[in-house]
């Protein structure tokens, strides 16, 4: 049989449910893979093997009793270190939070447990989860398994690195400005940013979040197949009353015509040729799969949405965020805040929220015409690692390129990144966006794009 850690979550769950493989065997294989490759990646920064095996044994015992163990029964899954997991520190990449030990699971973690997932380990993120690069003063640098000179993405860089290298079958991540989508892009896997309100979240170990993160930050999955994202979304999105923004919306919406708007250069992004080629290729794959693809030259406002989202993210409580970053002393976090100061401070929250209603209305009207929008993830191929700290020009270059990721959360829309291949050894992919709570349309289009290319597979870390 193929090595268990190479399998999709769906295939592994089927084997465990049918008793062809035990959950303990799957957990043992996952731990062995972690031990083999994580020293080169530093994707997982905290894990407890005895606890992992105990979780797996509980799944096997439940199956032995004939009990239903959930869609992810026995599947090893990683959790990002910025959400509460009982008994672990919710560091968010901060030395300041090394002693913030969670007494209860975040709802998304609890939902994964309820679905039978075996929680394998905690994945790294940049300090405060601010950047599209993953390094911090408490856990260190995370490497991209495809090329250590490339960023693994951020802020869920540990999640992207882990799942690409076969450490777990699904990775939990969070996204306020691309933090699921960019690591998926950079590491050559798939990542789903769900609609705000789809997946419940709450960190009891930390103070209540300001309104900006409340209405734009989400949890979501990264995986090597789009089908695994679909299973993970269903598991993660179960009801939890601790999140007042959670909505009981069906995972499948009404049928709509399979019509795609394809935009190669949204709102002055000016992508590099390789990025445009990837989007055009994905459009051809969709056409071959029976979708109608219409190339458009303009979307509803993206640049304004991205500017306002940056303010909502960094400007809401800017001085307090800067003071915390100065106490932490993390160079990347300080570069992020200081480099954006002129853009985000002072900040008029009421004005931003008023404009949010207008822009969201425009985007929802757009999705009455199209099932999905196909566009770049970034204006560039994955960046050289730590590019944003090189100099002012490089910082500006990074923030310009990330326009398509930063904008989407402002309207609360879902976004799916699908890996489409490699340019040499550098991953490339595309982004699919749809109307609120229409992750199903993103996933359907994503599966068509995935099916038209080379199947994803685990990779061994590059030297």
Active site residues: 80, 155, 179
Is the distance from CB of 153 to CB of 193 less than 8 angstroms? no
CB 160 within 8 Å of CB 420: no
The secondary structure of the chain, three-state, reads CCCHHHCCHHHHHHHHHCCCCCHHHHHHHHHHHHHHHHHHHCCEEECCHHHHHHHHHHHHHHHHCCCCCCCCCCCEEEEECCCCCCCCECCCCCHHHCCCECCCCCHHHHHHHHCCCEEEEEECCCHHHCCCCCCCCCCCCCCCCCCCCECCCCCCHHHHHHHHCCCCCEEEEEECCCCCHHHHHHHCCEEEECCCCCCCCCCCCCCCCCHHHHHHCEEEEEECCHHHHHHHHHHHCCCCCCCCCCCCCCCCCCCCCCEEEECCCHHHCCCCHHHHHHHHHHHHHHHHCCCEEEECCCCCCCHHHHHHHHHHHHHCCHHHHHHHHHHHCCHHHHHHHHHHHHHHCCCCHHHHHHHHHHHHHHHHHHHHHCCEEEECCCCCCCCECCHHHCCHHHHHHHHHHCHHHHHHHHHCCCEEEEEEEEECCEEEEEEEECCCCCHHHHHHHHHHHHHCCCCCCCCCCCC
Distance CA 135, CA 137 (A): 7
Q: Is 307 left (phi over 0), alpha (psi -120 to 50) or beta?
A: alpha
In the sheet that holds 218-223, the strands lie side by side as 44-46, 118-123, 76-80, 170-175, 218-223, 190-193, 415-423, 426-433, 372-375, 259-262, 292-295
Residues 6+ apart with CB under 8 A from 50: none
């Amino acid at each position: 049989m193929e090595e268990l850690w190479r399998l999709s979550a769906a295939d592994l769950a089927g084997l465990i449910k049918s008793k062809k493989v035990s959950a303990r065997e799957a957990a043992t294989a996952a731990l062995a893979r972690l031990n083999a490759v994580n020293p080169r990646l530093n994707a997982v920064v905290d894990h407890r093997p005895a606890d992992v095996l105990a979780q797996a044994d509980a799944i096997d015992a439940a199956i032995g009793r004939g009990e239903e163990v959930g869609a992810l029964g026995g599947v090893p899954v990683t959790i990002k270190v910025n959400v509460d997991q009982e008994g672990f520190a919710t560091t968010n990449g901060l030395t300041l939070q090394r002693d913030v030990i969670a007494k209860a699971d975040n709802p998304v973690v609890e939902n994964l447990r309820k679905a039978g997932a075996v929680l394998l380990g905690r994945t790294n993120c940049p300090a405060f989860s601010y950047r599209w690069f993953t390094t911090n003063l408490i856990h260190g640098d995370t490497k991209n398994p495809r090329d250590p000179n490339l960023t693994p993405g951020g802020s869920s860089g540990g999640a992207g690195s882990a799942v690409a290298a076969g450490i777990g079958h699904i990775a939990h991540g969070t996204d306020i400005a691309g933090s699921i989508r960019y690591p998926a892009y950079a590491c050559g896997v798939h990542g789903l940013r769900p609609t705000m309100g789809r997946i419940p979240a709450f960190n009891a170990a930390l103070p209540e979040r300001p309104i900006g993160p409340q209405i734009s930050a989400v949890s979501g999955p990264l995986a090597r197949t789009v089908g695994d994202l679909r299973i993970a979304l269903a598991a993660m999105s179960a009801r939890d009353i601790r999140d007042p923004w959670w909505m009981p919306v069906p995972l499948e919406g009404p049928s709509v015509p399979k019509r795609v708007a394809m935009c190669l250069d949204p709102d002055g992004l000016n992508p590099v040729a390789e990025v445009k080629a990837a989007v055009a290729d994905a459009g051809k794959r969709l056409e071959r799969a029976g979708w109608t693809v219409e190339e458009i030259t303009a979307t509803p406002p993206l640049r304004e949405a991205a500017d306002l989202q940056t303010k909502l993210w960094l400007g809401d409580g800017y001085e307090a965020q800067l003071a915390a970053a100065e106490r932490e002393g993390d160079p990347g976090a300080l570069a992020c805040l200081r480099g954006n100061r002129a853009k985000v401070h002072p900040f008029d929250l009421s004005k931003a929220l008023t404009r949010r209603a207008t822009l969201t209305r425009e985007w929802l009207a757009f999705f009455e015409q199209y099932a999905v929008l196909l566009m770049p993830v970034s204006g560039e191929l994955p960046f050289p690692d730590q590019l944003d700290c090189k100099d002012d020009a490089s910082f500006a270059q990074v923030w310009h390129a990330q326009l398509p990721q930063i904008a989407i959360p402002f309207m609360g829309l879902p976004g799916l990144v699908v890996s489409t291949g490699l340019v040499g050894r550098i991953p490339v992919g595309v982004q699919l966006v749809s109307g609120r709570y229409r992750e199903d349309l993103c996933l359907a289009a994503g599966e068509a794009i995935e099916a038209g290319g080379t199947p994803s597979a685990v990779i061994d870390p590059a030297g």
